[in-house]
Structure 1
Amino acid sequence: MKIAEQEITITSAHLQRDVTCTLLMPEEGAFAEPLNLLLLNDGQELENLKLINTLENLYDRNCIKPLLVVAIHAGEERLQEYGIANKPDFKKRGAKADLYTKFITAELLPFITEHTGIEHFESTAFAGFSLGGLTAMDIAWNNPDLFDRVGAFSASFWWRSKDLTKGYTADDRLMHSVIKKTAGKPDLKFWLQTGTKDETADRNKNGIIDSIDDTIDVIKELLAKGYERPADIQYLEILGGTHDPETWGKAMPKFLQWAFGK
């Protein structure tokens, strides 16, 4: 099945910039509705992820339901717009994450409805890589009325409020703390991925890299909330996987079949 590709620009009042998005979906007449929706951070990496090839392959093998992918290109202020809303990290990065959340919920989603004429998608997922994965997790977590599923590839779950040299403890990790402090249990499902070569850093010197430790600890927080494995949480650890679009692209078919599988 051929994928139709369309580039659009949205002028965001919240971010005060033009946001480029690439839309990918099966060509006209190739599917019957209902359609599913995937928002993807760092959409400028589409080519490196080989996403079009992956989608065509999955459709040809009848593995996934019809899907609209909206790949949101990051701007020059990625380190400010991504992160956790209203909780900048210890270097004050992520100061505009609340505005990016508003762009997604109040501008992008309504625009997609208007642009496609589709009022209701069968399911909606939000995914991202590295800092974009952390951002997708934060936005979906706080908007479970808008999203059903989250994909966090090598997510920056180390994002912390305190410098390692300033009395840091594991409790200073921001996403873990957001999950812990949320009342109730958002109606979401989670797909998390790490690579054994994501990085070399090992804060607590336990022989396991931080990327894996921090992700496992997010899973522990989710389990403590009452989510269950494997029904609500999937975790993929790629042996030799590195912190780059090549590894994330290899993991993508597993995510797409989990989120939108037939």
Structure 2
Amino acid sequence: MLLSKVTRSQNAITSTLLKRTVVIELFIPGNLLGNETLNLLLFNDGQDAIALGIEDTLNALNEKNKLEPLVVVAIHASENRVQEYGIAGIPDFLGRGSMASLYQDFVMTELLPYLQEQIGMPFNGKKGFAGCSLGGISAFDIAWNNSSYFDLTGVFSGAFWWRDKDLKDGYTDNDRILHRMIRESEGKPELKFWLMTGTEDETADRNHNRIIDSIDDTIDVIKELLKKGYERPEDITYYEMVGGKHDVLTWSKVLPAFLCWAFGRKSYL
């Protein structure tokens, strides 16, 4: 079935947990019959949905019949973004990420039931969580901790440097919070991972190996996942964009590749 153009709507949820109104944008494919296998993608930093080109990208891919039926939910961040995003229960060295556990609980206990009621159809296909930069490690963390619900995560230029010790205080790579979380987690969550960097994400090079930190940190995440028993390319896809920068324009350019990887029709995988 060829899907018609997506319907975009903006909704607001009053969150008891976050003590604020959370704005979300829903992108729902047209002419659903109600008997489809329906997929779901949550996307952090939903205030960038227009700049990311989510609606246009979905329409272009659906017009070419490249995607399975997919609902995208873009969750707007608040002024407390650096507190709500991060790794649940482990603030960074400046105390940022202190509300990450509350944000995770909001997603699982307030947002998802709301979405189920609004859509009126079961999300019986694949379910993913994606984000860019700090929103990316938030998406990774929530998917990792709730793998009984989520099937995949996509991280664009992830802030995998997130650490609990400052560089000037004797930092080592063991102080990176997400890498340690993977290493110390019991078991192996049933997830698939799409990790992206740009060769011009930044200029920082902590270890002076002539590879920027964002690439080093992402490759090290992959190494930790491989140690857990995940395999490439079955479980992990790494996308390095030559000339890619740490900006929405870059992420918009790679969005089609991610969506086709995550929710592409079998003939396009």
- Does TM, scored on the shorter chain, surpass 0.5? yes
Q: Hey, what's the Cα distance between the residues in 1 that align with 2:245 and 2:34?
A: 35
| Unpaired segments ≥5 residues, structure 2 | none
Please give the alpha-carbon distance, in whole angstroms, between the structure 1 residues aligned to 2:99 and 2:161: 19
1:119: Cα distance to partner?
3.1
Match of 2:202 in 1: 199
1:113, distance to aligned residue in structure 2 (A): 1.0
Q: Which residue identity lines up with residue 83 of structure 1 in the other structure?
A: G
Residue 224 of structure 1 aligns to a residue in which SS? Answer: helix
Q: Which amino acid letter does the alignment assign opposite residue 24 of structure 1?
A: F
Q: How far apart are residue 25 of structure 1 and its match?
A: 1.3
- Counterpart position of 2:264: 261
Pick aligned residue for 2:82 from 74, 79, 94: 79
Q: CA deviation at 1:32?
A: 5.2
User: Corresponding residue for 1:27?
Assistant: 30
| Larger CA deviation: 51-60 vs 209-218 | 51-60
Give SS of 1:165's match.
helix
CA contact (8 A) 1:31 1:66 kept: no
Quick check: 1:174 aligned with 2:192?
A: no
Q: 1:43 aligns with which of 20, 24, 46?
A: 46
**2:197 partner SS:** strand
Deviation at residue 30 of structure 1 after TM alignment:
7.3
Shift of residue 31, structure 1, vs aligned partner: 8.0
Task: Map 1:134-145 onto structure 2 (within 5 A).
Answer: 134-145=137-148
Partner of 1:214: 217
Is the 8 Å Cα contact of residues 40 and 123 (structure 2) preserved in structure 1? no
Match of 2:99 in 1: 96
Same amino acid, percent of matched pairs: 56
1:58 paired to 2:56: no
Once the two structures are superposed, the pairs formed by residues 139-154 of structure 1 within 5 Å of their partners are: 139-154=142-157
Provide the rounded CA distance (Å) in 2 between the counterparts of 1:240 and 1:168. 29
- C-alpha separation between the residues in 1 aligned to 2:38 and 2:182? 30
How far apart are the structure 2 equivalents of 1:29 and 1:114? Answer: 16
Q: Does 1:125 align with 2:128?
A: yes
| RMSD between aligned residues | 1.1
Task: Tell me if structure 1 keeps the 8 A contact 2:38–2:122.
Answer: no
The AA in structure 1 aligned to 2:61 is: L
| CA distances 1:169-222 after superposition (whole Å, capped 9, x unpaired) | 000000000000011100000000000000011111100000000000000000
Deviation, structure 1 residue 120: 3.5
Structure 1 SS opposite 2:195: strand
What TM-score, normalized to structure 2? 0.95
Residue 136 of structure 1 aligns to a residue whose secondary structure is: helix
Q: Deviations over 1:73-114 (max 9, x none)?
A: 001100100000010000100000000000001110111111
Using structure 1 for the length normalisation, give the TM-score: 0.98
Unmatched tracts of structure 1, length 5 or more: none
